[in-house]
């Protein structure tokens, strides 16, 4: 198997291509192997190298480092989310635990970008949970009560004010939450690659085919080589299941997104020159849509069960047409052919929206399954799993470990049937918001 990505993601194309790419073509021994070089694996490698400077650490990725979901997301570093079952006060304690983790995630990314002077278009602009359907006000009122109880500043806006702020008349009700950051995901993950310490050896385009624990070592087979490691951290997120890890607790979903070219002065004027903003849907399958600071519009309006290893150009084009319609609905004055790029990416989900952070066996650790909110949580979990694996303890680990653990999932084909029917149901409910 090979992970085959489409080559057309604007966030990646914004960056200079990297050189000096090493691929595994030999047999290696190491103290630590980290599999997966997205936010999680890169953060784990950075932290582990700091904590254990005399150990040799190998980090591998099946594709170019950082070019999985970590470069392909919408760039919302969230403090709160709505679409994960916490819409009433009933579950407030669990919701609080969840937001505590988001908060730690934001702090971890903030500390990282300060320490390494990272420029990733960081903007503490807050975000909107918005809908074209005024009936969704009910859901938002409930959510607003929960947020207020937990001390998150939030305000309601309606069509006229939303039009001014967002440049579209589409939305009729929106709850603005002050926390949350918009950023350039590709720049953030690239900076994590750039600052990898010298005791981390990175092999890219090196797909881990199989692994097994033999006595005290972990033997890992790649196409052109083997790595024997004393200890291992799995950070493959949407691909945990394909490696047989926590396979009854997480499943992959494929998301697709599109980005327009930069709007011209005239086009930008026609939508009222709004400042950078981000909208999250009130209904789970509605569109995430964002105006970047350099006047591009990003839209993500799919989530589906699909082969996580690749998406054909034909399939991607179909989804891109859907996204063109989503943009047209909101910005009818913009030209039809304004989309510059479309791409897919893989996320990992659990049944109860909880994450995985565990020692699964002696010397084997795993962090992942962020349910679509992995920028902050992935960076946090990467650092903290390295600390846990180094047998140290932090208050962050205590907070992470006090969360609900992911619930058990039924086996296939029941699982895919259940997910697909749920997605179809949610898609119908969100029809107007796509």
Ligand X SMILES: Cc1cc2nc3c(=O)[nH]c(=O)nc-3n(C[C@H](O)[C@H](O)[C@H](O)COP(=O)(O)OP(=O)(O)OC[C@H]3O[C@@H](n4cnc5c(N)ncnc54)[C@H](O)[C@@H]3O)c2cc1C
The residues binding ligand X (CB under 6 A) are 3, 35-41, 60-63, 68-70, 72-76, 78, 207-208, 235-239, 243, 255, 257, 300, 345-347, 368, 370, 372-375, 378
C-beta of 167 vs 238, nearer to ligand X: 238
In whole angstroms, how close is the CB of 279 to ligand X at the nearest point? 11
Alpha helix segments (H runs only) across 213-336: 265-270, 313-330
C-beta of 163 vs 366, nearer to ligand X: 366
In whole angstroms, how close is the CB of 251 to ligand X at the nearest point? 14
Residue with the shortest CB distance to ligand X: 374
C-beta of 161 vs 276, nearer to ligand X: 276
CB atoms near residue 47 (< 10 Å): 19
In whole angstroms, how close is the CB of 266 to ligand X at the nearest point? 29
Q: Which two tokens stand for residue 151?
A: 């001390």
In whole angstroms, how close is the CB of 37 to ligand X at the nearest point? 6
Q: Note whether 296 and 260 are within 8 A (CB).
A: yes
Dist CA 319 CA 419 (whole Å): 19
In whole angstroms, how close is the CB of 184 to ligand X at the nearest point? 11
Q: Note whether 98 and 251 are within 8 A (CB).
A: no
Dist CA 35 CA 21 (whole Å): 16
C-beta of 69 vs 389, nearer to ligand X: 69
C-beta of 172 vs 400, nearer to ligand X: 400
In whole angstroms, how close is the CB of 269 to ligand X at the nearest point? 28
Q: Note whether 86 and 95 are within 8 A (CB).
A: yes
Provide DSSP, 201-223.
EEE-S----EEEEETTEEEEEET
Q: How wide is the angle at C-alpha 409 spanned by C-alphas 405 and 413, nearest 5°?
A: 160
In whole angstroms, how close is the CB of 77 to ligand X at the nearest point? 6
CA-to-CA separations, 76 to 17, 265, 377, 415, in angstroms, rounded: 24, 26, 12, 29
C-beta of 69 vs 409, nearer to ligand X: 69
C-beta of 60 vs 172, nearer to ligand X: 60
Dist CA 199 CA 224 (whole Å): 23
């Amino acid at each position: 198997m090979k992970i085959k990505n489409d080559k057309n993601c604007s966030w990646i194309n914004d960056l200079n291509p990297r050189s000096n790419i090493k691929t595994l073509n030999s047999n290696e021994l190491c103290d630590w192997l980290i599999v997966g070089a997205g936010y999680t694996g890169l953060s784990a490698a950075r932290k582990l190298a700091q904590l254990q400077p005399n150990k040799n650490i190998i980090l591998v990725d099946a594709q170019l480092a950082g070019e999985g979901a970590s470069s392909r997301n919408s760039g919302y570093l969230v403090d709160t989310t709505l679409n994960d079952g916490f819409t009433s006060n009933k579950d407030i304690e669990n919701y609080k635990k969840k937001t505590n983790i988001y908060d730690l995630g934001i702090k971890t990314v903030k500390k990282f970008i300060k320490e390494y002077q990272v420029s990733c278009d960081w903007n503490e602009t807050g975000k909107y949970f918005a809908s074209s359907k005024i009936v969704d006000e009910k859901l938002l009122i409930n959510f607003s009560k929960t947020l207020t109880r937990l001390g998150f500043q939030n305000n309601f806006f309606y069509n006229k004010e939303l039009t001014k702020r967002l440049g579209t008349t589409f939305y009729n009700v929106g709850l603005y939450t002050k926390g949350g950051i918009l950023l350039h995901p590709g720049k953030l993950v690239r900076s994590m690659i750039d600052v990898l310490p010298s005791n981390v050896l990175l092999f890219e385009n090196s797909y881990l085919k199989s692994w097994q624990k033999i006595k005290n070592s972990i033997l890992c087979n790649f196409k052109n080589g083997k790595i024997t490691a004393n200890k291992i951290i799995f950070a493959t997120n949407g691909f945990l299941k394909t490696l047989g890890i926590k396979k009854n607790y997480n499943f992959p979903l494929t998301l697709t997104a599109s980005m327009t070219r930069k709007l011209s002065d005239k086009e930008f004027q026609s939508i009222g020159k709004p400042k950078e903003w981000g909208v999250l849907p009130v209904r789970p399958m509605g569109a995430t849509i964002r105006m970047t600071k350099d006047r591009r519009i990003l839209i993500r309006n799919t989530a589906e069960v699909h082969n996580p290893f690749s998406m054909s150009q034909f399939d991607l084009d179909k989804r891109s047409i859907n996204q063109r319609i989503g943009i047209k609905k909101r910005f009818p004055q913009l030209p039809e052919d304004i989309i510059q790029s479309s791409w897919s990416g893989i996320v990992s989900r659990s049944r109860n929206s909880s994450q995985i952070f565990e020692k699964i066996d002696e010397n084997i650790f795993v962090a992942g399954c962020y349910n679509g909110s992995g920028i902050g949580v992935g960076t946090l979990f990467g650092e903290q799993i390295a600390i846990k694996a180094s047998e140290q303890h932090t208050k962050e680990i205590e907070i992470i470990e006090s969360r609900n653990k992911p619930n058990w999932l039924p086996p296939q084909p029941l699982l895919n049937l259940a997910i697909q029917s749920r997605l179809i149901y949610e898609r119908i409910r969100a029809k107007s918001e796509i």
